[in-house]
Chains A and B, each alone.
Chain A
Amino acid sequence: MNPLARSLFKLILLTSLQFVLVNSATSGTVRIASLNLCTDQLVLVLADSEQIASVTFLSQHSTSSYMAAEAANHHINYGQVEELIPIRPDLVVTLTYSSPATLRLLQHLGFKVELFIPAKNIGEVEANMRRMAKLLGQETRAESLIRSMQERFQALTSTLDRSRIPRGILYEPNGYTAGVKTLRGDLIRLAGWHNIASEAGIESVGVVGLEALVLARPERLILSPYAPGTSSLGHRVLNHPALNKVTSHPTPLIVPAKYWMCGGPMNADAVTRLIEGR
């Protein structure tokens, strides 16, 4: 950004901030701060721009956040309580996974906190969207988003060839996989796959060993790289030659992590990808 654009940007930011302050003081618009990537996604998709007090830095990363472009101009936090004190949000949202110490501190400081349970299926995604919309006063926007999401699912699954159910499994670094009781498992099922995680006895999240995976004979692996292009020992197992030799499909199916790591309208993109890869 050149200096002129930057000062212009600052000016806009300052005036909009002033507007927000005046606005929240007069009309009671709720200004919301999110401390978790998944609540970020709901806030960014449902709230008006001036309702957003802060989102996490992860929401600006295009590999992990579907709403990275929308998050670009907002105040960001790194999940620390002290970052929220100067921006004085009316409401703080995060997942139930958050550290108990953070939650205690927030309550002690008098912040109003709403905790969201991570969605385990597409029904819970809709419920979370409705709940967030109610907090923000954006019910009509939520209903129209949910309706168009349902229409997309309807269109995608109605043309599905159910005579052939491919055997697949989500395989993540260190051998982690997701079963039927997870959002990703639900989306895999919706897209007409047989998820062989169930054969390994995994219903939620668990590790499936290389040998068990070979014996289960998946037709295709589903990979969802969270940080593509980085190296680690955890990634090494994804390149194990045995995996390439056991699947009938020559390449694994790649579903970008941001399509289904969190619940939201972007989950339809994950189902699209999963159906294309059948």
Chain B
Amino acid sequence: MDSTPRSRLLYWLALIVSVLMLVSLNLGMGQVSMIDLFTAGDAAAVWLILVEIRLPRTMIAAITGASLGLCGAAMQGLLRNPLASPGLIGSSSGAALGAVIVLYLGLSQHNWLLLPFGGMLGALVALILVYLLAGRDASIVTIVLAGVAINALAISCVSLILNFAPSPYAVQEIVLWTLGSVSNLSMNDLWILLPPTLLGWLLFIGTGRSLDLLTLGEDTAQSMGIDLVFLRTKLFVAVALCVGAAVSITGAIGFIGLVVPHLLRPLVGYQPGRLLIASAFGGASMLLGADIVVRLMPPGPEIKIGVLTAIVGAPFFLFLILKTRRWQI
């Protein structure tokens, strides 16, 4: 590896993720840290907390954040649209709808794979709908409008299904699906999340160069041997796999896929290909950081993690709108 500033960036990001994961493992309501393994009277309970409660929470936050950052970067590159991201163009809420249908109708009791599958299918349908609604080469505004419509539709279907769900707890869980949460997750959830996510990540391999060429315009990219239909299909399926699996475990956590690629883009020399892996690390850092802040809050009902990502992300979204407006005027 050369030691240009750009490859050093990845080392730094990896270091940040590792430190945040370590902090996350040592932070919780139980006031237990790794040191207690050697000093506490009840080391077995400490071990249980670290391995069965904190480890899955940390891993799921890191993996989900990475997926959202990666998907945001890929969609912004593919659609050549600075506002494309899983939250804004409907794939997160589509995934939430798919997962809600599977979970609350009791289908996942028979086969746990159905839960991420429902999420994936929902994300894919939402993606394709937005793409068809907005059409090829759609303007920034058209895609966001199509996304707003699909988002609204998916979220109201989520509430509708939760209202009719047999479980008496369903209605109060609307907020978990629309804002997201990583608390009280277990290793079981990690095992559900992992296979579709890894499959999705694998599909991203080799798409970096195509995304780089796409910055020259679709026609130029095609003339240089990029099969656009294949690339689009591959990335849509990859995004659906990653977002579908993540949302079916954590709910729809917003703004990570939007903010992270923008923050990192200048640092990778505005190359969409390089942005992919950097955004994965960046997304993991952002979600891990948000989850750490959630746990640093005073005790009481836990703040949903999506609230924090939105507090950071929504002003950023407004800033982006102002910036694009200035360009257009």
Contacts and interface: CB of A to CB of B under 8 A. Distances in A.
Interface of A: 173-175, 207, 209-212, 214-215, 217, 226-227, 229-237, 239-242, 245-246
B42 A245 contact: no
Contact of A226 (B42, B53, B109, B168): B168
B317 interface: no
B166 A241 contact: no
A215 B30 contact: yes
Contacts of B169: 173-174, 227, 232-235
Nearest to B106: A231
Contact of B167 (A207, A209, A235, A245): A235
B277 to A, nearest CB: 32
Nearest to A211: B30
Contacts of B53: 210-211, 214, 240, 242
Contact of B42 (A175, A209, A217, A229): A217
B219 interface: no
Contacts of A174: 169
A227 B30 contact: no
Contacts of A212: 29-30
Interface of B: 28-30, 32, 42, 45, 48-49, 52-53, 103-104, 106, 108-109, 165-170, 172-173, 176, 184, 186-188, 301
A119 to B, nearest CB: 21
A234 B168 CA distance: 10
Contacts of B109: 231
B165 A232 contact: yes
Nearest to B188: A241
Q: Which secondary structure dominates chain A's binding surface?
A: helix
B173 A234 contact: yes
A239 B189 CA distance: 11
A229 B105 CA distance: 11
Given A226-B168, A227-B168, A231-B167, A242 B28 contact: no
10 contacts: A210-B53, A211-B32, A214-B30, A231-B104, A231-B167, A235-B167, A240-B53, A241-B186, A242-B48, A245-B48
A242 B186 contact: yes
A234 B176 CA distance: 10
A241 B184 contact: no
Contacts of A173: 169
Contacts of A245: 48, 52
Nearest to B102: A231
What 3 A-B pairs are tightest by C-beta distance, nearest first? A211-B30, A230-B167, A242-B52
A211 to B, nearest CB: 3
Contact of A209 (B30, B103, B173): B30
B28 A232 contact: no
Contacts of A175: 184
Given A210-B184, A236-B184, A230 B301 contact: no
A246 B42 CA distance: 11
A242 B49 CA distance: 7
Given A227-B167, A232-B170, 4 more contacts: A227-B166, A240-B52, A241-B52, A241-B186
Contacts of B48: 214, 242, 245-246
A245 B186 CA distance: 13
Contacts of B165: 230, 232
A175 B301 CA distance: 11
